[in-house]
Structure 1
Amino acid sequence: MKKFLNLFILCLALSLVVFSNCTTAKALDAKPNAGSENLDQNNIDKAVEVFNHGQKKLYITQSDIDLMAKLIYAESRGEPYEGKVAVASVVLNRVLSPKFPNTIKEVIYQPKAFSCVNNGHIAAHPDKNCYAAVYDALRGSDPTNEALYYYNPSISTCSWMQHTEKKDTKSIGHHLFFKC
């Protein structure tokens, strides 16, 4: 019995080493060549997800995922699940757009970009649906048709949103998603 237990522990330890090496190899395979669109080499080493969009790749860290989940909770609490995915998609679409900063953190903390961001902080406690929406958007689900903006027309106080010409609009829940 003691031999069996020792063999079992050895097998378990080896499988953990192999699993660890496989996940590291997967992360290394996903790493870009020089000139990554959105991260410096230090952050690329921390990437846990890769978002592919055409020829572009975004290297996503766990802190990016956590920040997006907080934003989704704060911006779309009470909205349907599709609306949560849509908010995450807008963030990713902005990172990909030359009109906006090129990291998730910079897009979310861009001044006056999102009403829930106050003094560089988002007061939110995301739930599992918020994280699921982030991962669905990272897998390529975009119910907005690549929208860069959204707002709630019934409560918005932003005159720019109300009076700007909107293209490719789509209503999801209480939000209107669009391009300019």
Structure 2
Amino acid sequence: MEIFKQNRCIALLVGVILVCFSAISLLSPGRINEGQNTLKMEKFGGSGHASAAALLPQTAVTPERVKGTVKPMLYTTAAKIPGHVWNGKQTVDWFTPAKLKLKAAAGTQPAKPKTVVVKVSPEAQQALKQAAAKGSQSVNKVKTASQQHPPTKLFFSRTKLLSQEQQAQATWSYAVSEEDLLLLQKIVMAEAEGEPYQGKVAVANVVLNRLRSANFPDTIHEVVYQKSQFSPVANGRLKRVKPNEDSIKAVNAALSGVKEVTDDTYFFLSLKLAQDLTVHHSRTYAKTIGNHTFYK
């Protein structure tokens, strides 16, 4: 103190220095802190300081020490990568005619056909029903007429009896006489009198199948009277019977093309009454109708 009293100039100089230092510290505390931090970091010195400085660009987050506390930085190294810097610009994808065509083609779906509903009045519906009924009646009349008046000429191919509409495919034809028609009715009556209607048609089918086949005679008379083929011929029943209505209808149906057995069926017998079962053991089974079994 005595030094200050003796040297007032020195005391005044020290006071000015203190005031300046206080003013500087109040105006820029950050710089002092940075200086303190710099001084503290310089204490590491040497190669350690250089190695730490080399690692700084690769660090994801760099902490900043301020007066003994850790303060995280507000940026990362990812933000410094040039390829990931957002420049605040938005790109616009312009539509070209080619892109519009592609999108239109992708969005286009096949048009569904519209269902057209046609309303028919009750009178028109009734007229259609009557026309359909008349058509079915006309068909039934044609069938009935053909069965009441069977064709007088048959058409055959090598494998089957043809209808009248298929005569262009025929390989040969056969004219049916009145005697043939009566004989066919009688053999059906004699063989299948107690059988169902389908069984009577099947017997007529067998006779016509034999007429067509090259392995049997070429006329209805010769087919019926072939030796050891039909038992009513051998026992005389064929001459005694008189065809009933079902037998006549069955023959007419068979001549008109109705088939209860296939065109390759040539034999039938009653397993209950037959004494000779050679056909049963040597031929292929086809069908059973009533008491008759049919074979190919």
**Which residue number in structure 1 is paired with residue 274 of structure 2?**
156
Tell me whether 1:111 sits opposite 2:215 in the alignment.
no
Q: How many residues align?
A: 131
Summarize the Cα distance change of 1:120–1:155 in structure 2 as closer, same or farther, 3 Å threshold: closer
Task: Decide which of 220, 238, 253 is 1:136's aligned counterpart.
Answer: 253
- Partner in structure 2 of residue 60 of structure 1: 176
Indicate if the aligned counterparts of 1:65 and 1:131 stay in contact, CA closer than 8 A.
Answer: no
Contact between 1:79 and 1:174, CA under 8 Å: does it hold in 2? yes
Counterpart code for 1:77: E
Letter in 2 for 1:174: N
Q: Aligned AA for 1:157?
A: Q
Quote how far apart the aligned CAs of 1:120 are: 7.3
Sequence identity (%): 36
Which amino acid is 1:83 matched to? Answer: G
Q: Distance in 2 between matches of 1:84 and 1:74?
A: 10
Amino acid aligned to 1:87: V
Correspondences of 1:25-174 after superposition (within 5 Å): 49-54=152-157, 55=170, 56-118=172-234, 122=238, 123-146=240-263, 147-167=265-285, 169-174=286-291
Partner Cα separation in structure 2 for residue 59 and residue 51 of structure 1: 6
CA distance in 1, matches of 2:234, 2:282: 24
Contact 2:228-2:234 within 8 A present in 1 as well: no
The residue type equivalent to 2:195 in the other structure is: E
Q: Which moved more, 1:71-80 or 1:56-65?
A: 56-65
What per-residue deviation string (whole Å, max 9, x for no partner) do you get for residues 55-102 of structure 1? 132210011010011101100011000111111110000010000000
Work out whether residues 144 and 178 of structure 1, in 8 Å CA contact, stay in contact via their aligned partners in 2.
no
Alignment-derived partner of residue 40 in structure 1: none
Q: TM-score, normalised by structure 1?
A: 0.68
Which range moves more in the overlay, 158-167 or 60-69? 158-167
Q: 1:103 to 1:121 in 2, by over 3 A?
A: farther
Q: Indicate how the Cα distance of structure 1 residues 110 and 154 shifts in structure 2: closer, same or farther if over 3 A, else same.
A: same
Larger mean CA deviation between 106-115 and 139-148 belongs to 139-148
Q: Mark the structure with the bigger radius of gyration.
A: 2
User: SS at 1:58's partner residue?
Assistant: strand
Q: Which protein, 1 or 2, shows the higher relative CO under an 8 Å CA cutoff with sep ≥ 6?
A: 1
Displacement of 1:114 in angstroms is 0.3
**Could you tell me which residue of structure 2 aligns to residue 175 of structure 1?**
292
User: d(CA) in 1 for partners of 2:197 and 2:155?
Assistant: 22
2:178 maps to a residue whose letter is Q
- Write the distance in 1 (CA, Å) between the matches of 2:236 and 2:212: 22
* TM-align CA RMSD: 1.7
Indicate the structure with greater strand content: 1
Structure 2 gap segments, 5+ residues each? 1-150, 158-169
Residues 172 and 124 of structure 1: is their aligned pair in 2 closer, same or farther, counting only changes over 3 Å? same
Give TM-score, length-normalised by structure 2.
0.42
The answer to whether the 8 A contact 1:69-1:126 is kept is yes
Deviation at 1:53, TM superposition (A): 2.9
| More helix, by proportion | 2
CA–CA distance in structure 2, aligned partners of residues 98 and 171 of structure 1: 25
Instruction: Give the Å deviation of 1:176.
Output: 1.0
